[in-house]
Chains A and B, each alone.
Chain A
Amino acid sequence: MSGDILHFTKSAHQRTLESLPWFLTQTLDPDERELVERHLRGCPECRAELESQRRFREAYADSDIAVDPEQALAKLRPRLARTHSAPQPWRARWVDRILGAWRSRPAWTTLALTAQLGIILALGWALNRAEQAVPSYHTLASAGMPTRTQGDLIIVFDPGTQQRTVQAILRAAGARVVDGPLASGAYVLAVSPGSLAATLARLRAERGVALVEALRTEGTP
């Protein structure tokens, strides 16, 4: 191990410096984390930098943006209605435009377009053959995507809420975490049978809870 301490290469030192932010947030892969730990043991400069980043991060995490989610969502709702409903008229307008352009075309374009169509069809056939050899991926519209997990409530804590406060809130409400953290920072909670409404109300009254919503209505599985 002493060799690692005495014979740092410049690139190892530089790599450690570049990785420190993610070492601090504990998001490095295990092998990468181990390399950083080994380097830190013998490098006072990197240890000082790590300590500096830790202090920076503690001060940095304070948030000062205040926007009301309900007011913002209220402004978005009319746009949702416009964008998700009735796609047909939009398509119809484009069909009309294309047909109109076709009807008013010059005579020579028929031959050119026919040749172009032939080339496109040939390329499409070739591409189709190539794609059959490539593994496909699925979109959400595809069948066979995973389905949801079980739970009664979904909850989001205020970003500034301490871990011990979160635990105290959950204990007092008689709720337990069955899933999460979801990537959004939300958790899925389970509550005792028959206590959904009461738990929901209790959690909504808690400081430190940014959002809590029921995933089912009382009495449904």
Chain B
Amino acid sequence: MVHGRKASPAAVAGGPETAEEGELALLQRVAAGDRAAFELLYRCYFPRLTRFLGRVLQRPHTVEEVLNDAMLVVWRKAASFNGQSRISTWIFAIAYRRALKAIKRFDDPIEFDEEQAESLHPGPDAALMHRQLSATLGWAIARMPADHRAVIELTYFHGCRYQEIAQIMGCPVGTVKTRMFHARRRLQLLLSDRMEDLP
């Protein structure tokens, strides 16, 4: 699993089999109660989990709490990892389940700063349009169901294969494709009014 569009890792380095073994070794140390290994694993996953949970939860103030809950499960259950999926898939599946539990508890509206989206900083035209498009997408994504947000995030940002997404979300691969298809259609509907002036 990679950061698909930026810093294309495949172009920088080698094969996934040895890479997976490296993470497995780290997780083995975590399973043995090695705190330093856990903190290294935590820091490695922190940027990606923060991003993923931020998108799925849509409530920035809850990201840290849910992320820590998920990593606490990793700490406690590391010995039960059975190698039937990639380690990242296992960790993201835990984070996704914790996020869904958290969402059920929420009774507050989704946080989205409309003013921030509207008040764009001056700059070159291309940069301005890009920021405007990003803000509009943020507005639209905040209005989608959590499972649609998750499949979009895991596909476009984290570069997950649809088979991995099925494992993370605990559903058949056909469901992943269908969710993505409907999510795209829903996005197009939401954006149709706002996209007229955007590239």
Contacts and interface: CB of A to CB of B under 8 A. Distances in A.
Interface of A: 17-19, 21-22, 24-28, 53, 55-65, 67, 69, 71-73, 75-76, 79-80, 83-84, 137-141, 145-149, 151, 154, 156-163, 165-167, 170, 177-188, 210-211, 213
Contacts of B64: 67, 71-72, 75
Contacts of B184: 21, 53
Interface residues of B, number: 82
Given A27-B161, A183-B86, A213 B43 contact: yes
Given A69-B43, A137-B83, A63 B33 contact: no
Nearest to A62: B134
26 contacts: A17-B181, A18-B178, A18-B181, A22-B155, A24-B156, A25-B156, A53-B184, A55-B133, A57-B4, A58-B130, A60-B152, A61-B5, A61-B6, A65-B50, A65-B51, A80-B72, A84-B75, A148-B24, A149-B18, A159-B51, A179-B22, A180-B19, A184-B88, A187-B12, A211-B43, A211-B46
Contact of B44 (A71, A83, A185): A185
B134 A60 contact: yes
A141 to B, nearest CB: 4
A139 B9 contact: no
B146 to A, nearest CB: 16
Given A25-B4, A76-B71, A183 B20 contact: yes
A64 B88 CA distance: 22
B157 interface: yes
B81 to A, nearest CB: 5
B26 interface: yes
From DSSP, what is the main secondary structure of chain A's interface residues?
A: mixed
Given A26-B4, A60-B152, A140-B28, 5 more contacts: A24-B156, A63-B51, A75-B68, A156-B44, A182-B20
B48 A159 contact: yes
B75 A80 contact: yes
A26 B83 CA distance: 24
B171 interface: no
Contact of A184 (B45, B78, B199): B45
B81 A140 contact: yes
A195 to B, nearest CB: 20
Interface in B13-55: 13-14, 18-28, 31, 33, 35, 38-48, 50-51, 54
Contact of B157 (A60, A71, A167, A211): A60
Nearest to A27: B161
Q: Give the most central of A59, A137, A183: most B CB within 10 Å.
A: A183
